[in-house]
Structure 1
Amino acid sequence: MTPFTFNMAWRETRSAWRHFVYFLVCIAIGVGALTGVSLFGAEVEKTVNKEARSLLGGDLEVRLSHPLSSQGQTVLDSLNSRGISLTHVSELIAMVARTDSSTSGQPTQIVELKAVEPGYPLYGQVRLNPQGDLAELLGLQPVRCQDIATFGVVVQESLLIKMGLRIGDCLKIGQGFFRIVAVVRTEPDRMANAFSLGPRVVMSQEGLQAAELVKVGSRIRERYLVKIPSDLPVDPLLYELRGRLESDAARVSGYKDAQPQLKQFLDQLTRYLGLIGLTALFIGGLGVATSVHAFVREKLTTIAILKTIGADSPTIIRTYALQAMMLGLAGSLIGLVIGVALQQGLPWMIAALMASDLLDQLGLAEGGMSISLVPLVKGLALGLLSTLLFTLWPLLTIRDVKPARIFRREIVPMAPTISQNMHPWWKAWREVDRWKAITSIGIGLG
């Protein structure tokens, strides 16, 4: 690059900056969309990896579709002597009924029932409204329902709405009576999903026994969550439990494999949003090419004069390419700012479209997400690359501008002479502008 190239590029930019507003907008929107999606995807990946233990509920999970045998229970009980914590969670589908028929709402409702022990959760926190100690809330209540020993339950708000209930009302579940003591907002080991058989109800293991819901042949999922001391490795215990619980047909998994469906869903979501970002960048590139093409058409006489006074085509192309890259850099920087703002707004938009509190459970809907450097560098690089690729095509037409342009309004290009004896494919290659062909291939690969 010579001083003439820089001076000419800067002079052309200052004199025709209004012409490039559309250029800047196209690059800024494309880079902003791509950067915002990349930043959001990086934050989701970091959060899922950080909260892997909470997503599973422990370092290890032992899962069964039937009650654990006495031999298997002995194996798990032996872990306590090694400083390993354990908690038991039972999950099943049940029917709840109102005890007061005077209120409006559904008299019965199918729910997803979850029974936990006092040690639950091993990782994370159950968010309640009003907040309180979960073990105390799920214990025996001082006020009985129909003069029968009553345990507490925490329920999802949707159950209150459907059945016309409120905190303090009583429910009948199985053969037991329960009092609603709080509304459950989030559970660390249960991410929201699109499919659910009913609202969530959480009770104690003692409450489940009082309800007498578990009988021979009952469809129930038993989960034993294991928390290992930080100085002990996870994998050896994982393989040990798989071997010792093989007779119970137990599925033992580690926190690294937590919520595979959730990880797959979030990965597909970020890929889909990334495709939208790339599409926006590509459409922005088409706008850039259109803008540069119109600019070059306006500058044909200027280009002809430059060639008349001694400037060659490569120098002029480098001048306008430098001008385009300067504008591309400015548009990309504006796009990075848009991308950061988009990253902060994406959780709310996705939550509204999904009608789910998944992002809130992951802690992504609270705002204040961190900004990663790699997506910013990637967005800036792709913005500059797309600027170069989409401006190179129209700029290559500068080579066809003749100095006679200053004397004639129109240029009649000379048709190339090609031997009639050449193979048709070779003729086509000779007629094609090879730089434009390479540029087209670059755009396609990009």
Structure 2
Amino acid sequence: MNKGTTSKTGFGWLLKMAWRDGKASGKRLLLFMASIVLGIAAVVAIQSFGENLKDNIGQQSKALMGADFIIDSNRPPNERVERIIDSLGGADAKSISFPSMATLGKTGATKLVSVKGVEGPFPFYGELETDPARAAKTYQADGGTLVDATLMLQYGLVLGDSISIGKLRLPIVGSLISAPGNNGLTASVAPAVLMPYNLIESTGLVQVGSRIDYDYYFVAQPGQDLEDLDEILDPQLDAENADLDTHLSTGRQLGRRYDNFGKFLNIVAFIALLLGCVGVASSVHIYIKEKLRSVAVLKCIGATRRQTFSIFLVQILAMGLFGGLVGSLLGVLLQQVFPLMLKGFLPFEIEITFSFEPIIMGLLLGVFMSGLFALSPLLTTWYVSPLQALRIGDNGGKKSRGTDLFVVLALLGFIFVFAQFLLDDWKYALSFVTGVLVVFAILSGMALLVMNIVKKKFPHAWGFTARQSLLNLFRPNNQTLVLVLAIGVGTFLVSTLYFTKDILLDKTHLENNEKAPNLILMDVQTDQRQVVAENIEQMGLPVLNNIPIVTMRVQKIKDRAVSEIRKDSTSTINTWVLNHEFRVTYRDSLIASETLGSGSWPAQASEEGVVPISLSDNVARDAQVDLGDRLVFNVQGVPMETEVVGIRTVDWGRMQLNFNILFPTGVLENAPQFHVLTAHAPNEGKSAEVQRALVSEFPTISIIDLRQVLTVVEGILDKISWVINFMAFFSILTGIIVLIGAVRTSKYQRIKESVLLRTLGAKGKQITQIAVFEYLYLGLIGTLSGVFLALLGSGLLALFVFKATFVPSVVPFVIILPFITLLVMGVGVFNNRSVLSNAPLKVLRKEVS
């Protein structure tokens, strides 16, 4: 090829050469490109669903709140708040809500419910869905209640039955199917009951110490700017122990709530994509290695480095484009499943719409990632010498260290940038890249270690088939490294899921002994506590705790008034500390869920009149105070100066009452307070008996059965684990495709060896045994590496993050490990079937052609 001819060869010539060469290897190219399809599908599905979720939240934020904005407080509005409400034209509707025990129907069964008394045509947006439908508009005038539909089914309630709330007995006029603000998870513990506002006073449940929320609902005036309204009024209301929430801010909060879960799923999907790309790199490496002789021939007849490199680059990018297209379309279809999986988490129905952006992202991912991960083996063609066409034993194509370093840095840079895109936080992205490197390095190290041990300690005394299968682990063109990575990462993900779920369940575990409380009695008034305790003991149950609770707010932090700090735009003190009404207790000892981090407890005040207190570490951090700093609290109108003498680490995951602020005894005993009593019921029947007896005599008391809470928590964890399992399944499937691709890519080399063995007299049974043993070793190495890596990682999580005892699940050992190992064996043996079913010469001719 002369210089003039060379200059005329352009992109068309490259496409023709890539097409002609690709036709002969089409199946292999399609197979290893299929390894990125599932990863792209998972990423596109989650991205597309996330966009739909944001759009739905934006469109339905009014329906979720039921109004344009709400003013809420946990105490009756004072004169200043009332003036603000009047300045807005008065509330269009209002409600008062609180938790309470209810007696249901004629059976006398009791249940903790969330009572909401409503006045006015609420909701203004969305729908109060009831059965019958007319009950949504008539229940206030009829003086009846709307009771959660699930609760009615559980207790066999029908229309016309009655429900007792406090001192009041009301008829049930409708079942409540859905309502704005009725969160599905909260409703599982305390189902909603709606009643007329004007009957709330008759219940006798609005008392000092009761946990009550007052809400005022507004419909915005035409052209009213809610963002400006929020910015102007919210600080004023915060100073008066009230708050302003617009449907815009509520939508943003809801979006952030599900955004974190979406980010986690994105990372799981991205790992599946990375795993597929590892398969691409390995397959392209072997594919290009077999093409080096052809590259040398092309260079002998005048092709340039750029031209030979571009031929194979075009092939890879075309397959990446195809894989991206298939993965994107699959992802768009897959997102239809997410609303079903997340049912119960979302307080509204998701309307799935079609968008081109995720498809474009999938196409770009397919092209870019396939090209990037195939770059290292592709660059081998650049360094092939024309003389290699004549050299039989020369592999050629050795790259410089600078080229390898450039490729590695490009790969890490892309992973970091895309992780930053998914997580929107460079620290998390850097942690993810570090974690990926650690996992891949450990799995790679395990594979290389096994190969090195087998090579050095080779068991020469073993039988022929056992020796041959071990030799295959480190022979030329072996797939030990890529298969251990593919199998190990998938196993690691699924095993970590099971181990972590066990840690979380252990945190919520209730010990079944008489000293472990499982009944919590809330809102017990001071004059009731002695009688309530005696009643519990008369029913044969021990009263384990009698915890006093006093409500207060922070008035000063280190001699700066809270009102002054609110106005300071440069202040970095967390605003929740300034606005929160703290519920504190007093005692001179720590409990099992508390650990003293610094200071001492109990302690004496350093100055007369100054009360020593202990803060939880999160409050100390957010309030930016340390040992020796002073805080002034407003204890229901009485200022009290305190000094921080101890900072505690609190295990908030323990199923018991924990407090941010701890006072010593001898200070708050005469302050207005209520009490929380705890007891242990040996079974559900005894628990129900105690609840019925106490509710009938003390209707203002709320009782929480921790068994029911634990059931809800387990249900939530089951749902979450199912979703994560579903995403981890993509990694397993991707690993299987990588496995098939890796095996089939080196199939020609395997077939030549197997045919040679048959020609020398080996029987089909021996060849099958070699394949079985080899893939048994690979499966065991990969799964054991993944399981033990997950075991180590989960143990570290339990020790340093959850601070819990780690008792690993048996599922990864008895189900995942043998299943994946058998799967690997099956794939390996299946790929050898053509060698056993045909004559050696026929197989060779077929493969060569």
* TM-score normalised over the length of structure 1: 0.83
Q: How does 1:94-109 map to 2 (within 5 A)?
A: 94-101=100-107, 107-109=109-111
Partner amino acid, structure 2, of 1:349: M
Give 1:442's aligned residue: 410
Q: CA deviation at 1:216?
A: 3.8
Give 2:93's aligned residue: 87
Count of matched residue positions in the alignment of Structure 1 and Structure 2: 405
Q: CA deviation at 1:345?
A: 1.2
Partner amino acid, structure 2, of 1:402: S
- Is 2:58 the counterpart of 1:54? no
Partner amino acid, structure 2, of 1:13: G
| Post-superposition CA distance 1:336-362 (Å, at most 9, x none) | 1101011111221233xxxx2x33x32
2: CA distance between counterparts of 1:228 and 1:240?
15
8 Å contact from structure 1 (residues 85, 228) kept in 2: no
Give 2:115's aligned residue: 113
Higher relative contact order (CA 8 A, sep 6+): 1
Greater displacement, 244-253 / 313-322: 244-253
Q: Which residue among 64, 67, 77 is the counterpart of 2:73?
A: 64
Partner amino acid, structure 2, of 1:378: M
8 Å contact from structure 1 (residues 402, 411) kept in 2: no
Give 2:40's aligned residue: 31
8 Å contact from structure 1 (residues 122, 227) kept in 2: yes
8 Å contact from structure 1 (residues 396, 436) kept in 2: no
Partner amino acid, structure 2, of 1:16: S
SS in 2 for 1:111: strand
SS in 2 for 1:164: coil
- Is 2:247 the counterpart of 1:279? no
| Post-superposition CA distance 1:187-230 (Å, at most 9, x none) | 22333346864111111213323323223443201111111122
| Post-superposition CA distance 1:154-180 (Å, at most 9, x none) | 222332244332333211111222222
Q: CA deviation at 1:77?
A: 4.2
Q: Which residue among 125, 128, 137 is the counterpart of 2:127?
A: 125
1: CA distance between counterparts of 2:183 and 2:104?
28
Q: CA deviation at 1:335?
A: 0.9
Give 2:192's aligned residue: 200
SS in 1 for 2:272: helix
Partner amino acid, structure 2, of 1:3: G
Q: How does 1:234-249 map to 2 (within 5 A)?
A: 234-235=226-227, 237-238=229-230, 241-242=233-234, 248-249=240-241
Percent of residue pairs identical: 26
2: CA distance between counterparts of 1:414 and 1:132?
80
Q: CA deviation at 1:260?
A: 5.8
Give 2:371's aligned residue: 388
SS in 2 for 1:135: helix
Q: CA deviation at 1:323?
A: 0.9
8 Å contact from structure 1 (residues 156, 184) kept in 2: yes
Q: Which residue among 329, 348, 363 is the counterpart of 1:362?
A: 348
1:71 to 1:30, Cα distance in 2 relative to 1, 3 A: closer
- Is 2:141 the counterpart of 1:173? no
Partner amino acid, structure 1, of 2:322: A
2: CA distance between counterparts of 1:412 and 1:27?
28
Q: CA deviation at 1:320?
A: 0.3
8 Å contact from structure 1 (residues 60, 238) kept in 2: no
8 Å contact from structure 1 (residues 152, 181) kept in 2: yes
Greater displacement, 381-390 / 306-315: 306-315
1:403 to 1:166, Cα distance in 2 relative to 1, 3 A: same
8 Å contact from structure 2 (residues 380, 397) kept in 1: no
1:75 to 1:349, Cα distance in 2 relative to 1, 3 A: closer
Q: How does 1:242-261 map to 2 (within 5 A)?
A: 242=234, 248-258=240-250, 261=253
Give 2:22's aligned residue: 13
Give 1:344's aligned residue: 336
Give 2:259's aligned residue: 267
Q: How does 1:402-441 map to 2 (within 5 A)?
A: 402-411=385-394, 432-441=400-409
2: CA distance between counterparts of 1:387 and 1:167?
62
| Post-superposition CA distance 1:341-388 (Å, at most 9, x none) | 11111221233xxxx2x33x3221xxx511223222222212211011
1: CA distance between counterparts of 2:376 and 2:73?
63
2: CA distance between counterparts of 1:87 and 1:78?
15
Q: CA deviation at 1:96?
A: 0.6
Greater displacement, 287-296 / 400-409: 400-409
2: CA distance between counterparts of 1:32 and 1:258?
31
8 Å contact from structure 1 (residues 55, 191) kept in 2: no
1: CA distance between counterparts of 2:226 and 2:285?
61
8 Å contact from structure 1 (residues 176, 210) kept in 2: yes
| Post-superposition CA distance 1:14-72 (Å, at most 9, x none) | 22111123223112212111111110111111122222233333222111111224664
- Is 2:173 the counterpart of 1:185? no
SS in 1 for 2:207: coil
1: CA distance between counterparts of 2:244 and 2:257?
22
1: CA distance between counterparts of 2:250 and 2:358?
26
8 Å contact from structure 1 (residues 75, 244) kept in 2: no
2: CA distance between counterparts of 1:232 and 1:273?
38
8 Å contact from structure 1 (residues 109, 163) kept in 2: no
8 Å contact from structure 2 (residues 34, 323) kept in 1: yes
2: CA distance between counterparts of 1:3 and 1:316?
14
1:40 to 1:99, Cα distance in 2 relative to 1, 3 A: closer
- Is 2:156 the counterpart of 1:164? yes
Q: Which residue among 214, 227, 233 is the counterpart of 2:219?
A: 227
8 Å contact from structure 2 (residues 69, 246) kept in 1: yes
Give 2:360's aligned residue: 377
SS in 2 for 1:109: strand
- Name structure 2 gaps, 5 residues minimum: 1-9, 415-849
Give 1:135's aligned residue: 137
1: CA distance between counterparts of 2:291 and 2:229?
73
8 Å contact from structure 1 (residues 60, 254) kept in 2: yes
- Name structure 1 gaps, 5 residues minimum: 141-150, 416-430
1: CA distance between counterparts of 2:117 and 2:316?
64
8 Å contact from structure 1 (residues 336, 379) kept in 2: yes
Q: CA deviation at 1:128?
A: 2.3
1: CA distance between counterparts of 2:27 and 2:357?
32
1:17 to 1:33, Cα distance in 2 relative to 1, 3 A: same
1:443 to 1:185, Cα distance in 2 relative to 1, 3 A: farther
Give 1:313's aligned residue: 305
- Is 2:321 the counterpart of 1:329? yes
1:245 to 1:312, Cα distance in 2 relative to 1, 3 A: closer
| Post-superposition CA distance 1:99-130 (Å, at most 9, x none) | 413xxxx7111111111123101221122234
Partner amino acid, structure 1, of 2:280: V
2: CA distance between counterparts of 1:390 and 1:246?
54
1:267 to 1:135, Cα distance in 2 relative to 1, 3 A: same
Q: Which residue among 296, 299, 304 is the counterpart of 1:304?
A: 296
Greater displacement, 323-332 / 247-256: 247-256
1:318 to 1:159, Cα distance in 2 relative to 1, 3 A: same
2: CA distance between counterparts of 1:129 and 1:12?
68
Greater displacement, 239-248 / 261-270: 239-248
2: CA distance between counterparts of 1:414 and 1:39?
42
* TM-score normalised over the length of structure 2: 0.45
Partner amino acid, structure 1, of 2:98: L
